[in-house]
């Protein structure tokens, strides 16, 4: 959660990076919002892209100390970085697999950002249009050293790539769902 004082608004960016002391705003009882990100990253989707690139960006640019706003496309291999250089925002885009954008203090090869994403072109409807590219994410890796399959599909599960875990929704005794996890190797 991120609070922008100059806009008096709370935002929920997909990722943010804080370098140095982490400062907070009391956003509610038991809730704190970050005040001082160095980098804000938005993963663009059809439903949020316009808002991410307009209203949110205008507010983000008012954050003291913010160095970068990074937009990551889901439709194609494309990263757009707005970088604050002495109060002027420089817009740079990266499309080629060999491009190496600098995000925060890290050089991140574009092909690594998209390494497990395959892009397909959907069939266009009516009149020979080409359609829009769609993202296809391959299935997650096996769950253990014996290369066995993921958990059985009897239970609802989803795989979190960053933390290498399957999360299972299993019914509890009182009938509600609870979340449990299992780490894969």
For residue range 32-42, list pLDDT tens digits in order.
999 999 999 99
Q: With bands split at pLDDT 50, 70 and 90, how would you rate the model's confidence at 26?
A: very high
Distance CA 142, CA 158 (A): 13
Write the pLDDT tens digit of every residue in 89-129.
999 999 999 999 999 999 999 999 998 888 876 554 333 33
Together in a domain, 56 and 104: yes
Task: Tally the C-alpha atoms within 13 A of residue 111's C-alpha that lie toward its C-beta.
Answer: 4
Together in a domain, 107 and 144: no
Q: Is residue 16 part of a domain?
A: yes
Write the pLDDT tens digit of every residue in 155-181.
444 445 544 555 444 444 444 444 444
Q: How many structural domains does the chain have?
A: 2
Together in a domain, 110 and 44: yes
Together in a domain, 26 and 90: yes
Place of tokens 């439709």: 75
pLDDT at site 125: 39
Q: Is residue 155 part of a domain?
A: yes
Together in a domain, 7 and 71: yes
Mean pLDDT for the stretch of residues 124-149: 49
Q: Which of 65, 64, 3 is nearest to 32 (CA)?
A: 3
Q: Is residue 126 part of a domain?
A: no
Average pLDDT of the chain to the nearest whole number: 77
Together in a domain, 90 and 162: no
pLDDT at site 89: 96
Together in a domain, 96 and 150: no
Q: Is residue 151 part of a domain?
A: yes
């Amino acid at each position: 959660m991120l609070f922008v004082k100059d806009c008096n608004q709370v935002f929920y960016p997909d990722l943010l990076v804080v370098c140095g002391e982490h400062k907070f705003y009391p956003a509610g009882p038991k809730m704190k919002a970050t005040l001082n990100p160095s980098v804000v990253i938005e993963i663009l989707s059809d439903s949020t892209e316009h808002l991410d690139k307009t209203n949110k960006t205008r507010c983000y640019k008012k954050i003291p100390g913010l160095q970068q706003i990074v937009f990551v496309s889901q439709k194609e291999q494309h990263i757009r970085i707005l970088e604050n250089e002495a109060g002027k925002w420089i817009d740079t885009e990266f499309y080629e697999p060999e491009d190496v954008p600098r995000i925060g203090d890290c050089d991140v090869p574009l092909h690594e950002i998209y390494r497990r994403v395959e892009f397909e072109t959907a069939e266009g409807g009516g009149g020979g249009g080409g359609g829009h590219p769609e993202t296809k994410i391959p299935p997650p890796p096996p769950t253990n050293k014996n290369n066995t399959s993921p958990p059985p599909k009897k239970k609802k599960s989803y795989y979190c790539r960053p933390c290498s875990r399957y999360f299972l929704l299993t019914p509890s005794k009182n009938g509600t769902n609870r979340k449990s996890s299992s780490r894969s190797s």
